[in-house]
Structure 1
Amino acid sequence: MTPTPVPFLDLVTIHRELEDELVEAFRQSLRSAAFIGGAQVEGFEREFAEYCGSTHCVGVANGTDAVRFALMAAGVKPGEAVVTVAHTFIATCEAISQAGAATEFVDIDPRTYCMDPQALEAYLAGCRRDSATGRPLGQRTGQPITAVVPVHLYGQVADMDAILAIAAKYDLIVVEDACQAHGAEYHCADGTWKRAGTFGKAAAFSFYPGKNLGACGEAGAVTTEDPEVARTIRMLREHGQAQKYYHDLEGYNGRLDAVQAAFLRIKLRRLPGWTTQRREAACRYNDLLGGLPDVTTPYEGERSRAVYHLYVIRHPERDALADHLKAQGVFTGLHYPQPVHLQKCYVEWGYKEGSLPVTERAAREILSLPMFPGLKAEQQALVAAGIASWQQRAELSGVQ
């Protein structure tokens, strides 16, 4: 008997469970014609800020707008440079470019896949300095570096104590890319636990449908403690106007749709429970996979409470393993198979194979296993059995 396939992501079940509430929210929007701004957007902004532990939240159209507007409002200007990582979705770099800045890369921590503070420090220490300001100049572009964007990848917060200390040393703005880290927590040196979105000058979130908190379409938000940053983002998303038809700056059409805000308010109430389910599923995977040779399970340090947007293992024969699992009815993902610095669209930046060795090795070995709220223990057992059967077959065929 062929086992029931294990999907990589199941978005149908949770929406079926919420269908009545979501339909009612849409019905109310139709009856009130409240499609742009208004109570639903303001309510979500208030509730998501409270959830994150932030003072301000500004809803925007998508996660890419969130990163771009956060950078612009935080003070990044055209002709400057921003340091980030290449092990991320391209939107991180698109947003930097669209803000008018250049991108400079540093390598990642081989365990967390987030920005390596030691690599950041070494990179900045090796930069020439602007003779007038003393600011570090990008090693690739020669442009003054004014900001750093750590990416809280796969649902785990980067080492923010170290990154913030380095940023302070070099007078850099910190903008968090928290698009995969809704509710992820980090134990700070002062003994407090803080959630993603509360460390930098601003932080960007995506509510793409597959995120831990996902809309039924596109949506995003920026959190910040700075009222001026929040005010600027509100203008940027609204064609640069603080008052209708009076434009203080040239902005964009980057508003959060009111219907999506209504959906997000419904889902936000479930997010803590969904996070618990993800963490429990991660623990089950750890138990099932921990003894398998050549399988590296995700690292979660004592100072981290990850939310497991993705459960990413490493294996030296990743592609063959993924093909084997697919044949077994287990569907997987790759996040991400080619680092941003080696993408064709950025070939003129001049990065080559070997520029970021930790990032490049990770890209060859990572494999995202099925992970979503409601993932059953029996489904995870099938995933583990598929990996174990590959190991056995590989040993018999002399691959290892």
Structure 2
Amino acid sequence: MTYDVIVIGLGGMGSAAAYRLAQRGKRVLGLERFTPAHALGSSHGGSRITRQAYFEDPAYVPLLLRAHEMWDQIERDSGERIFHRVGGIIVGDPDSGAITGSRASVEQFGLRHELLDASRIRERFPALRPEPDEIGLYEPGAGFVVPETSVQAHLALARRAGADLRFEEPVTHWEPGRVTTTRGSYEAGHVVLCPGPWAPELLGDLRIPFEIERQVQFYFTPDETLAGHPIYIWDRGTGFYGFPEHDGAVKVAFHHGGEICTPETIDRTVHAHEVEAIANATRSPMPGLAGTFQRAATCMYTNTADRHFVLARHPEHDDVTVACGFSGHGFKFVPVVGEILADLTIDGATRHPVALFDPARLRGGA
């Protein structure tokens, strides 16, 4: 059978792309090397922060506004709870990059927020213990999404729309119009690649130096409750981020700074010194957080040099679209990335602002 589109990789981005393409009437084949919603890539761990006060670049905010609308729609259509709006706070020195960047985004787009001094932070959120000169930017519309539920919901909706989804079928080779796996060969008018940390393997022809980074997600039983607290990002020292209690644990992690690896060489064992490091980092700003260690899990960031995404038609193949290099901050964009991939695949363009994600910037303009 010849398909209209083959989607390679059915994690966060690929599952959303398969759904949006099938929803628009395309004959879609989705291929995934592992089982649905697996824990061996980048779309797992029980929670991912979503926010619109985006210190990374205000250019992301229009995409986040659309993504928040689409999370609601995905929940209605799937019947699954994915987005938990618990609010979010970014804490740091007033001149820190996270604070100044977030303020730029909220002021440019008129986003709801509050600026809190240290005493107000402690009053509102007792588990947080800022230094006297630190401030917080609180965003009531922030929260977290559950990545596994998102993937499962998008896959179910894609199947409902007629997509042919195949799992435990690794891709061994692709070229425009044809994809070969361990089980066979398939033809399609267009190929969409959402390879996650397998980008260096499957997208070597992009000539982009992707860097795969091992990350650890830590889960604790806290010494004091974080129920009712927002998600939090601390821009102090090495910095860390985390979540209120969910599914019997609080989750906390460092953002970047992990070992460079590949999907084949990643160390899946979490070591005692790593647990000690996160406990030490949180001891002053959140002394009740790292009470009793429960468990930890590894995942991978696929980083670009500037930490912005790659989301575009392939520069050398007009019938190939790519989505990769999400650099540890991409999951909150999942539904709108699915929409963008469907636009680019079908129409060759999208109404969404994607100039920031042109791979030419990383290829020396090649």
Q: Specify which structure has the higher proportion of strand.
A: 2
Q: TM-score, normalised by structure 1?
A: 0.22
TM-score, normalised on structure 2? 0.24
More helix by share: 1
- Identify the structure with bigger relative contact order (alpha carbons < 8 Å, sequence gap 6+): 2
